[in-house]
Structure 1
Amino acid sequence: MHPAFSVVFFTTATGAGYGLLALLGVLGGLGFVEPDFWLGLVGMGLALGLIAAGLLSSAGHLGRPERAWRAFSQWRSSWLSREGVASVATFIPAGLFGIGWVFLGRSGGWVAVAGVLAALGAVTTVCTTGMIYASLKPIAQWHSRFTLPGYLIFSAMTGGVFFNALLQVFGVGSVAVLALSMLATLAGWGWKLATWRHNDELEISTTANTATGLAGGTVRSLEWPHTEENYLLKEMGFRIARKHSAKLRRITQALAFALPALLLAGAFVLTWPAAAVLSVIAALLQLAGMLVERWLFFAEAKHTVTLYYGR
Structure 2
Amino acid sequence: MHPAFSVIFLTTLIGAGQGLYLAMVTGQLYSIPRFVEAQGDRFYAVGSLVALLFLIAGLVASFFHLGRPERAWRAAAKWRTSWLSREVIVLPIVMALVLAYGLAHWMVWTDPLFEIGALKVDVTLLLGVVGTLASLALFVCTAMIYADVKFLQEWHTPLTVFNFTFFGAASGFMLAAAYSAYLGNPLVSFYGTWAVILTFAALGSRLAHLYRNAHIKRKSTVQTAIGVRHNTLVQRTQGATGGSFNTREFFHGRSQRFVQNVRYLFLILVFPLPVLLIGASYVAESPNLPILAFVVQYVGLLAERWTFFAEAQHPQNIYYQSVA
Q: TM-score, normalised by structure 2?
A: 0.87
Residues of 2 paired with 1:162 and 1:105: CA distance?
Answer: 26
1:302 equivalent among 283, 304, 313: 313
1:1-311 counterparts in 2 under 5 A?
1-28=1-28, 31-32=31-32, 34-36=38-40, 38-104=42-108, 106=110, 108-174=121-187, 175-211=189-225, 224=238, 228-271=242-285, 274=286, 276-310=287-321
Query: CA contact under 8 A between 2:278 and 2:290: conserved in structure 1?
Result: yes
Q: CA deviation at 1:279?
A: 0.8
- Bigger Cα displacement from structure 2, 100-109 vs 277-286: 100-109
Counterpart of 2:64 in 1: which secondary structure?
A: helix
Runs of 4+ in structure 1 over 4 Å off: 29-33, 211-227
Unaligned runs of 5+ in 1: none
Cα pair distance change 1:105/1:35, threshold 3 Å? farther
Instruction: Give 1:223 shift.
Output: 6.3
1:7 Cα deviation after fit:
0.8
Q: CA deviation at 1:104?
A: 1.8
Supply the RMSD in Å over aligned alpha carbons. Answer: 2.3
Where 2:149 maps in the other structure, the secondary structure is coil
One-letter code aligned to 2:292: I
Contact in 2 for aligned 1:29/1:111 (Cα 8 Å): no
The alignment of Structure 1 onto Structure 2 pairs a total of residues equal to 308
Moved more, 49-58 or 299-308: 299-308
1:77 is matched by which residue type in structure 2?
A: T
Per-residue Cα deviation, 1:201-227 (whole angstroms, up to 9, x for no partner): 222121233345665656776864755
Q: Deviations over 1:122-181 (max 9, x none)?
A: 111111000000011121111123211111110111111111222232233334332221
Structure 1 residue 237, shift from structure 2 partner: 2.4
AA in 2 matched with 1:99: L
Structure-1 separation of matches of 2:318 and 2:21: 42
Structure 2 residue matching 1:291: 3-state secondary structure: helix
Provide closer, same or farther for how the CA distance between residues 93 and 30 of structure 1 changes in structure 2, counting only shifts above 3 A.
Answer: farther
Distance 2:257 2:320 in 1: 24
* One-letter code aligned to 2:213: N
CA offsets per residue over residues 9-66 of structure 1, 9 Å max, x none? 1111111111111222343367556353542343112111111111111111111111
- The normalised TM-score by structure 1 is 0.90
Contact 2:45 2:105 in 1 (8 A): no
What amino acid is the match of 1:280? I
Q: Using the alignment, how far apart are the partners of 1:219 and 1:250 within structure 2?
A: 33
* Distance in 2 of aligned mates of 1:172 and 1:163: 10
What is the distance in 2 between the residues matched to 1:16 and 1:155? 5
